[in-house]
Amino acid sequence: MNTPDYKNSKLPFNTRVKDLISRMTLEEKASQLLFNSPAIERLDIPEYNWWNECLHGIARGGKATVYPQAIGLAATFDRELIQEIASAISEEARAKYHDAVRKGRREQYQGLTFWTPNVNIFRDPRWGRGQETYGEDPYLTAEIGTRFVRGLQQTSGPYMKAAACAKHFAVHSGPEGKRHGFDAIASAHDMAETYLPAFKKLVEEDVESVMGAYNRTNGEVCCGSPTLLKKILREEWGFKGHVVSDCWAIRDFHEEHKVTERPEESVALALNNGCDINCGCTYEYILKAHAEGLITEEQIEESLERALMTRMKLGMFNSPEEDPFYTDSVDSINCREFRSLSRKAAAESFVLLKNNGILPVQREQYKKMLITGPTAADLEALMGNYNGLSGNMTTLLEGLFQEFDDGMQIEYRTGSFLAHTKSNDLDWAAFEAEKSDIIIACMGLTQMIEGEEGDALASSTSGDRMDLRLPESQRVFLEKLLHTGKPVVLLVTGGSPVDLRDYADRCAAMLWLWYPGEEGGLALGDVLSGRISPAGKLPITFPLSTDDLPPFEDYSMKGRTYKYMEKTPQYPFGFGLSYSPCLLDSASASRNSIKEGESLEVSVMVKNRGSYDTDEVVQLYISKEVEGEDLPRQELIDFERISLKAGEEKQMNFSLSPEAFRYFDSRGASSYGKGHCTITAGTASPGKRGEELGASYSGVSVTME
């Protein structure tokens, strides 16, 4: 019996895909555009569920290594680390996938198509899902996202280890409670400069899939938008992969957006504009839409061809011996190597906001330590949303106890509830605080408070945060601790900014932990003990309060992020201290003028002035002045995380492409204008507030001719 072409691994993928489609009935073709594609037994095609997640480790699919939440990964500013983590995730993905297939399991969260990364711009700190992003800056988001895709989609010949997905295309960042019917209005300028660049960069990196957003953008539903899906994604950018809808987003066309009247019309709007896979139930109406003449069989085949091409690249129609990534071992799943990688990532992500010298903890100075607060022993504080699980989770309390239970008396009391205001007149935690020499207060947020609509159970605003302060119960308790007069080290978990103004001058130290993953407690021990100096940087501006923000539903970038914000921030984008301050000096450029199309070399000296070995993130910003143009105050154009021994000095060299000197005009067109620019190397984004907090800067001026 001859092997059909679609099973012949020696043939090109497109030949195999076309052969398979030619053997399928219309009903079978339509069935394969559902996210839970059924088996076609007569063709020996197994069922396949397209829905899997790996935002910061494989999620919702059993045991897997849990890395820091995405916003924490961005805080590392470490491209190589992100790629290494994504590569490790793909290794676990293959092990879990092949093990499931051997056991006859092909359920949701067991496939190789991962709906990650989320490269939406965290434009407003109130958005509950901002924790899933890489922050507020398009350049940083693109750089981190690109490395994640590269690590996840590593190849062997024509085959791909796992498939990544850029989501949610394209203008999507809350409010969560209105996402199913909301219209995000964005100017051509903001689209080109802010909302589209990361997606474009990932398409250039050959990301396999793009997911549309729930909302409308400029009047068009994102999962059926001719502008986004056809004109920009396919025609202008040349995207060749498949598009998937967000889950049940196409049903929203007729039920929420009211741009169609029936499911059949919603099918036609989505499919005709290039949405290939439907996560949801609406593509169950494909045959009815076809019978009504709303879609053609050729359009169905076009989407199916793109979808099957992905499965071909993943080796799903090959025998195990033909699959370069096949493994019959599950030993890599949550192995020691990957747990160590998670621990390293957590330590790199921590952002030191304040230190009066109390950190690292000199254990010989203290006889008794109180560890307290609602997040100290809370597993939720480690994970963030879209999380996996493992049997090796180490809470903040456990990590601190393991680190300091050596001649020091350690007491633990919860002290307060996470969110609600119920109190107890008999407060043992405050009593213990009075007797302690040092207080480690673990406060902040969990996915119970912030996150996606429906997940944040303690939120009355669908996971968004209209108040940036700590929950009232925590504020009351923290005041009690501060009133003892004992030194308080405040450790804060969370994926979005918190108003800490009332505590910045009174706490001895403040360390931002994000959601640090399964090794978070151990990484915390590494940092508080001084084995590792914290060097994470904020990938989002911390405003003073919501009063300094434009309306949440306003998608204009005016007044938002470090690029356009005129108000003084609480903590600027890119900020983060270390145990050893680093000085930037002697910035210079290869020449003092530049013409359109030319590149430029910039160098700066970096010196560790302290007594601890430390990492530092050297950030490069540009401020352009072109007559008649309203340009960003500044924008990140490069960065590098480096390691410095105590007292060590290094020269950093950056090569700036011609693109760094261009800007987007009001029409969204890339332009070059004559004028001046200042290139600033900094340990935070430039500004008076950064200087006040101890950031170091060195700059150079260049004329654009």
Give me 240's structure tokens. Answer: 């060749």
Q: Look up 378 and say whether it is catalytic.
A: no
Give me 367's structure tokens. Answer: 């006889």
Cβ atoms 304, 272 nearer than 8 A: no
Q: Which parts of 201-315 are beta strand (E)?
A: 209-212, 216-217, 220-221, 242-244
Q: Which parts of 503-613 are beta strand (E)?
A: 509-514, 582-589, 593-594, 600-608
How far apart CA 261 and CA 251 sit, in angstroms, is 10
- Which residue in the list 78, 137, 246, 526 is annotated as catalytic? 246
Give me 307's structure tokens. Answer: 């979808």
Q: Which parts of 235-285 are beta strand (E)?
A: 242-244
Cβ atoms 75, 537 nearer than 8 A: yes
Give me 387's structure tokens. Answer: 């999380």
Residue showing tokens 């700036």? 656
**Residue among 167, 177, 52 at smallest CA distance from 114:** 52
Residues 6+ away with beta carbon under 8 Å from 550: 124, 556, 558, 559, 560
Residues 6+ away with beta carbon under 8 Å from 52: 58, 61, 93, 108, 109, 110, 111, 112, 113, 114, 115
**Residue among 446, 447, 338, 397 at smallest CA distance from 86:** 338
Q: In a 10 Å sphere around its CB, with 0-12 CB exposed, 13-18 middle and 19+ buried, how is residue 351 labelled?
A: buried
Radius of gyration of the chain (CA): 26
**Residue among 339, 329, 321 at smallest CA distance from 94:** 329
End-to-end CA distance of the chain: 71
Cβ atoms 250, 242 nearer than 8 A: no
Burial 451-480 (b: 16+ CB within 10 A, else e): bbbebbebbebbbbbeebebbebbbebbeb
Element holding 349 (H helix, E strand): helix 336-349
**Residue among 544, 548, 546 at smallest CA distance from 564:** 548
**Residue among 536, 543, 615 at smallest CA distance from 572:** 543
Phi, psi dihedrals of residue 679, rounded to the nearest 5°: -105, 120
**Residue among 35, 42, 43, 95 at smallest CA distance from 65:** 95
Known catalytic residues are 246
